[in-house]
Structures are given as C-alpha cells and as structure tokens.
C-alpha cells in the first residue's frame, strides 16, 4: 500500500482561485516532499519540508506539515492555467537494507480553468 495518500484525487478550479491538496501518511518520517507532473512528463520537485518544520513557502506554494496528524498540505495561491498538473507527495519512511525508499502517493489531479 502507498505510504502517502493525496486528497482529493481530482480538483477543478478557476484561474485565480487557491488550490489545496492534502497528503496523509502512516509512519514517522524524516522529511516530506511535493512533486508536480505535467501530462506525459517526468516529475518535478517542488518543495521539501523536514519533520521539525511546520510550514514552508516557495513563491506561490505554501506547504504545511503536522507530524502529530501525519499529514501535509500543499496550497497553490492565485492559480494559473499552467498549474494544471498532477501533484504528488513523497515520504521517506520506508527502510530497505539501510536505505530510505521514496514512497509516492497516487497524486491529486489539478485542473485550472482559464
């Protein structure tokens, strides 16, 4: 099963609105990352938040982390049509042979209508 699960599975908004996506995970983590994937392309790293951080900003992106609830949220403010993509969270909780396996959720599909 996936370590991280994004919610909602799909989100449709108008340009200029804010988009909020959530990620829940099951076990303790060292850090959590958010990635974006445009259709047919590879994933692009957006932001990394460490377990001792509660909030992080990067341009129009705001990520929060609540380790007590094992959840994170990604907020995209003033969305643009170009933000249309799938967004994934990735955690590092899994351990295999002394190495951390990055575990991705199934993603939230965001559509921003112009």
Judged by the rule CB under 8 A, the positions of this chain that interact with another protein are 2, 30-31, 33, 40-45, 48, 88, 90-92, 96-97, 99-107
Tokens of 20: 């909020």
Separation between Cα atoms, residue 68 and residue 113, nearest integer Å: 35
Separation between Cα atoms, residue 58 and residue 1, nearest integer Å: 30
Q: How far is the CB of 18 from another protein (least distance, A)?
A: 25
Cβ proximity of 89 and 4 under 8 Å: yes
Our CB check for another protein shows the closer of 71 and 103 to be 103
Separation between Cα atoms, residue 108 and residue 113, nearest integer Å: 16
Q: How far is the CB of 87 from another protein (least distance, A)?
A: 12
Q: Which of 99, 17, 31 is nearest to 63 (CA)?
A: 31
Our CB check for another protein shows the closer of 73 and 88 to be 88
Q: How far is the CB of 32 from another protein (least distance, A)?
A: 9
Our CB check for another protein shows the closer of 39 and 68 to be 39
């Amino acid at each position: 099963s996936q370590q991280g699960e994004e919610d909602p599975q799909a989100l449709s908004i108008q340009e200029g609105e804010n988009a909020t996506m959530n990620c829940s995970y099951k076990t303790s983590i060292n850090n959590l990352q958010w990635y974006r994937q445009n259709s047919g392309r590879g994933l692009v790293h957006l932001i990394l938040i460490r377990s001792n951080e509660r909030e992080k900003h990067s341009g129009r992106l705001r990520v929060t982390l609540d380790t007590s609830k094992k959840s994170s949220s990604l907020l995209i403010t003033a969305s643009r049509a170009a933000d249309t993509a799938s967004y994934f969270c990735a955690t590092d909780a899994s351990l295999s042979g002394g190495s951390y396996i990055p575990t991705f959720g199934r993603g939230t599909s965001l559509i921003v209508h112009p």
